[in-house]
Amino acid sequence: MCRGARERDLHLAHDVPRSNDRIRRCAVSYPFVFGVGVPMRDFHITRQIGAPIEKTWAVLADIDHWPEWTRSVSRVEALSDAPMGVGSRVRVHQPRLRPVVWEVRDWQPARRFVWQSGIPGLHIVADHLLEPSEHGCMAALHLRYDGPLGAVVGILGKRITTRYLAFEADGLKARSEGAI
């Protein structure tokens, strides 16, 4: 058991050899079990887009056409008959990953949408935000892994997550600016 493991013990476990190996192993594994001190749960990227926010929103909100402009999505299946909005569900297929069903939980036209997905032990939230700027708009994409498996998935999936966020941000910029 990891009784008595505290934040100060975590630093000591990495810096000073301890005679009690049980305590050292406990202190080192503690952050991975409980998600304390593990920074790789949140991923964020922004892009300045030289297109009006309305045009960029039209590209972003047209999820059926994402495979045309981002390499991070290979296929999209709408699971709801209604137009995109709160409660809409979409199955997204991505290279090297299993298909994931996302449900929209916040929909603010020409501003943002947030959707969520998950499996037991893992809850994923992705936020897509557009803000007007002097030269068009700023797009901010944020993805967060929560739940008992959130830290582990964040660490193991760091490379593919950052790469796919960059593909999405760069593709959104290129499509909105008329490059693709």
Q: What is the pLDDT of residues 127-164, one digit of tens each?
A: 999 999 999 999 999 999 999 999 999 999 999 999 99
SS (H, E, C) 25-68: HHHHHHHHHHCCCCCCCEEEEEEEECCCHHHHHHHHHCHHHHHH
Q: In the predicted model, what is the mean pLDDT of the chain?
A: 83
Report the pLDDT value the prediction gives residue 104, as an integer from 0 to 100.
Answer: 97
**Tokens of residue 47, six digits:** 């892009």
Comparison of pLDDT for 47 and 17, the residue scoring more: 47
Question: Is 50 exceeded by the pLDDT of residue 69?
Answer: yes
Q: Would you place residue 36 in the very low, low, confident or very high pLDDT band (cuts 50, 70, 90)?
A: low
Report the pLDDT value the prediction gives residue 11, as an integer from 0 to 100.
Answer: 36
Give the domains, in start order, of the chain with CATH numbers: 1-37 (no CATH), 39-176 (3.30.530.20)
Report the pLDDT value the prediction gives residue 179, as an integer from 0 to 100.
Answer: 75
Mean pLDDT for 52-70 is: 97
Report the pLDDT value the prediction gives residue 115, as an integer from 0 to 100.
Answer: 97
pTM more than 0.85: no
Report the pLDDT value the prediction gives residue 170, as an integer from 0 to 100.
Answer: 98
Question: Is 90 exceeded by the pLDDT of residue 21?
Answer: no
Mean pLDDT for 76-103 is: 96
Compute the distance between CA of residue 88 and CA of residue 105 in angstroms, rounded to an integer. Answer: 8
- CB count within 10 Å of CB 7 equals 12
Comparison of pLDDT for 117 and 15, the residue scoring more: 117
